[in-house]
Amino acid sequence: MKKKIFVRGPVLSQSGYGEQSRFALRALRSREDLFDIYIQPINWGQTGWQWEDNEMRQWMDERILSTQILLQQKQLQPDISLQITIPNEFQKLCPINIGYTAGIETTKVSPAWLQKGNEMDKILVVSQHAKDSYVNTVAEARNQQTGETFPYKLETPVEVVWENTPFETETEDIPGFEPRHDFNFLCVSQLGPRKNLENTIKWFVEEFVDQEVGLILKTNVKSNSRMDKEAVERTLSNILAAYPERKCSVSLLHGDLTNKQMKALYIHDRVKALINISHGEGFGLPLFEAARYALPIISVGWSGQVDFLSDKYLKVKHEMANIQQHAVWQGVLEADSQWAYADQGSYKMALRMMHKKHGDFAKQALELQDYVSTHFGDEVLFEKFCNEIIGRSSLKPEPVESISFCIPTNGAKPEKTKLEIQSIKNTMAETDLPYEIIIAGDTTNFTDIDGVKLIDATADAHEGRLAKLRNIAGAEVTSDTIVFADDDFIFPKTWAKRLIQYSNTTGWQVTANKILLPDGGRFWDRATVSPHKLVDYDHPQYHKNLYQTGGFWIMRSELFKKHKWDASIVINAEKNNGVNEDVEMSQRMHANNITLSFDKDNTVWHNDNTYKEYSSSTLKVDIIAKHLGVSPETLTTDACFEFSNELEALNG
């Protein structure tokens, strides 16, 4: 089933976040079999809007208009929101909410970002640096009732998806662009505190004051307007006024350039290297584009760009220190955060080395081009991005070596439990895996069964301490994989083989599969807590509202050692305004960034015909009958063909 995804971001802005937004749209468009895409554009500061009239712009305009009409008619009900912005603007807009941010260019994020981030179901970022600064930030919070302080951090899972820009196969001339010198450095950067552009220019001039070398600046302050150009020219004049006798030149490129013109700039035979000594980058798209077009690079070895530069660049030394006071932006750039300060001498030496040994660095740039093309191309990044949206596991697959089946019981359904035991033996007989069956609770009726370990916990069983019984059984396991199953389940003969196949191809820590009732309807196999309802089997696994029924739960033994069931919770705690043990366990998994995985291609049966699937729920038949005003008998249906076959095989 296709997911309706509501993309809110500066999709038309000529800015870093604009490029990030368009990358997300290109990735989603690559899988229109998975997504119906709806777009709500937002402004981004005072930046200009994309002006090129191409197929992508026409498609965005159509989707924006369609979305606007549906919103006005109150007919749009998306499944997922993708919010591309800084985290203090994150909102709960849809049942599932994902924030996609460039993060921060410093060592820590604002406390407000932690709070807003924890309202999301998942956060996507463009670099490992962006992730590290987010997840490593710890703020001090205060309990409003007690006044007690406690550490507060991000609990929402964060995944790195990177980004790129469209690869151009053609170039386009830039009118009037003819570099004065044969050897020119290029800097593509906004004129602002973070970019360290003043030192980039000053130190360049001081290094080449008596040499015929050029620096080409593609820059602006906020937009590509005439007023913006005049402001940049005044700033450059003020910087260069101290060097009236210089032989080197500093040239300004201001205004709109197409992607083809930008490629022409990167590959121009007189443009020899890109320089960037900014204090920090979320990702560093100009650096990425330079690398993709094999332009040698000089940069600081810190922040987002190191993900793709792969040590194949000329590195400038730096030191970390608090950001400048004039750079503080309350709620975004915090005064006690740090970023990188390029070393003047190291930068000048790098410029000198690039000028003298350009051929060596040109060869290095070709190696970097190959690396970037392989690891950051559309096919690779689009697949990763879409997988994160739909919730496909990024964990490394680990084979199942052995299985412990843990069955809690109060002894009330001995015949069904015996069928379950036989079904486990039958499915495991189809494999070579060692296994064990452990029954905890009232085990009186099972003493005559071979191959089963019995643990007497009769008192706990009759007090409804289901979670405790699971822990009692789990404490005895010797396998790497645990299957917790209630005492009235049936495992198809193919079940174990499918679990092995699934585990060999999909990474998981906690997983489950379809749970069907005798009539073929669904039990609570995939559901949300609020509203309490069944969801489809492709529901994103990272959704914080998702829970897994405790009746059937598969987990790695090592994880169980760290996260046991809450033994203080008795069965059906919700009836006394409590939280059920499976909801508590699911919420604990989310809090620890442990995904509730799911294999929709495997099935177990819940052998209980007192339940029935009804209106996105699974309820007792008598409750449904009372709601409908009919007798329970009228709702009784025969067992489906598949379940009947399973029973016949077990009884035969």
pLDDT in tens, 453-488: 999 999 999 999 999 999 999 999 999 999 999 999
Residue 576's pLDDT is what? 86
The pLDDT mean for the chain works out to 95
**pLDDT average, residue stretch 384-394:** 91
223 band by pLDDT with thresholds 50, 70 and 90: confident
Who contacts 626 (Cβ-Cβ below 8 Å, separation ≥6)?
A: none
Checking if the pLDDT of 522 tops 90, the result is yes
> pLDDT-derived band of residue 49, with 50, 70 and 90 as boundaries?
confident
The pLDDT, as a whole number, for residue 607 is 97
pLDDT score recorded for residue 423: 97
Asked whether the predicted pLDDT for residue 222 surpasses 90, the reply is no
CA 586 to chain centre: 19
340-371 pLDDT per residue, tens:
999 999 999 999 999 999 999 999 999 999 99
Do residues 578 and 540 lie in contact, with contact meaning Cβ atoms separated by under 8 Å?
Answer: no
Q: What is the pLDDT of residue 147?
A: 86
At 45, the pLDDT band (50, 70, 90 cuts) reads confident
Residue located via tokens 């997504």: 35
Under the banding of pLDDT at 50, 70 and 90, the label for residue 540 is very high
Do 82 and 107 form a contact (C-beta atoms < 8 A)?
A: no
With tokens 């496909």, the residue in question is 392
Q: Name the pTM for this structure.
A: 0.88
| pLDDT on residue 307 | 97
Q: With bands split at pLDDT 50, 70 and 90, how would you rate the model's confidence at 394?
A: confident
pLDDT above 80 (res 51): no
Taking the C-alpha atoms of residue 470 and residue 441, their distance in angstroms, rounded to an integer, is: 9
Res 636: pLDDT: 86
Range in 135-149, 191-205, 611-625 the model is least confident about: 135-149
3-state SS, residue 484: strand
Query: Residues 532, 495: contact at Cβ < 8 Å?
Result: no
List pLDDT tens digits, range 578-597.
Answer: 999 999 999 999 999 999 99
Q: What is the pLDDT of residue 143?
A: 86
Give the C-alpha separation, 162 to 304, whole Å: 9
Supply the pLDDT for residue 46. 72
Q: What is the pLDDT of residue 627?
A: 92
Q: In the structure, what pLDDT confidence band is assigned to residue 215 with cuts at 50, 70 and 90?
A: very high
Q: What is the DSSP string of 124-169?
A: EESSHHHHHHHHT-EEEEE-TTT--EEEEE--S-EEE-----PPPS
End-to-end CA distance of the chain: 39
**Encoding tokens for residue 444?**
């009186």
Helix, strand counts (H, E) of the chain: 20, 30
Neighbours of 586 (CB within 10 A): 24
Q: How confident is the model at residue 574 (pLDDT cuts 50, 70, 90)?
A: confident
Per-residue confidence (pLDDT) for residue 303, from 0 to 100: 97
At 241, the pLDDT band (50, 70, 90 cuts) reads very high
By percentage, how much of the chain surpasses pLDDT 90?
A: 91
468-487 burial code (b ≥16 CB/10 A, e <16):
bbbbbbbeebebebbbbbbb
Percentage of the chain modeled with pLDDT above 70: 100
What domains are defined for the chain?
3-160 (3.40.50), 184-385 (3.40.50.2000), 403-651 (3.90.550.10)
Phi then psi dihedrals of residue 122, to 5 deg: -155, 150
Decide if pLDDT at 575 tops 90.
Answer: no
Q: Is the pLDDT of residue 1 over 90?
A: no
Interval 71-107: pLDDT, tens = 999 999 999 999 999 999 999 999 999 999 999 999 9
pLDDT in tens, 631-649: 999 998 899 999 999 999 8
Give pLDDT tens digits for 251-309. 999 988 999 999 999 999 999 999 999 999 999 999 999 999 999 999 999 999 999 99
Averaged pLDDT for residues 55-75? 96
Task: Name residue 224's beta-bridge partners.
Answer: none
pLDDT at 128 > cutoff 90? yes
pLDDT, average across residues 141-161: 91
Model pLDDT, residue 50: 74
